[in-house]
Amino acid sequence: MTTSPTSKPARDSYVEMTEIVLPSHANPLGTAFGGQIMAWIDICAGIAAQRHARQIVVTASMDDLHFLAPIHVGEVVVLKAQVNRAFHTSLEVGVSVDAEMPLTGERRHCSSAYLTFVALDAEGNRVPIPDVRPETEAQKRRYKEAEERRCFRLQRRTLSRNVVKGHSSPRH
């Protein structure tokens, strides 16, 4: 693992965000809409990405998102995000989502996501960003795994583009 002299510690991008699930965030079963959780994930990850890049960042993708447990009205959603790795003009942010029982403090893991952000200048052009400097063993593991996920994302993107090209011909 090599990092440039302009690298920044992963910890500098850490974000912890909390939200309470209100009835307006819930479906008829009294559990949070998946889209609401996704929006909070995107906001939390975006803050982490911007802290690292100190540039305008936009969401490029969110990896497969699985809801492992429902989050009920009245529970607190705890989102934790940190940049795992930077690639020239893009970076990967990992987000963990827990539900917290407000009266007991008991937490349960509900979801995880990896998002890719791209750094842009004021004209919308991609700009380089600093490397990430992992310090803890967990950060070093996430840094290494981020490269593997990036390769998989690029393969999936190429496959998706090829599928779209195959279906884009005009109908007769």
pLDDT-derived band at 151 (thresholds 50, 70, 90) equals: confident
Q: Tens of pLDDT along 33-58? A: 999 999 999 999 999 999 999 999 99
Higher pLDDT, 100 or 166: 100
What's phi and psi for 71, nearest 5 deg?
-120, 125
Q: Tens of pLDDT along 85-129? A: 999 999 999 999 999 999 999 999 999 999 999 999 999 999 999
Mean per-residue pLDDT over the chain, rounded: 92
pLDDT-derived band at 60 (thresholds 50, 70, 90) equals: very high
Rounded distance, CA 10 to CA 154, Å? 23
Q: Which class is 8-167 in CATH?
A: alpha beta
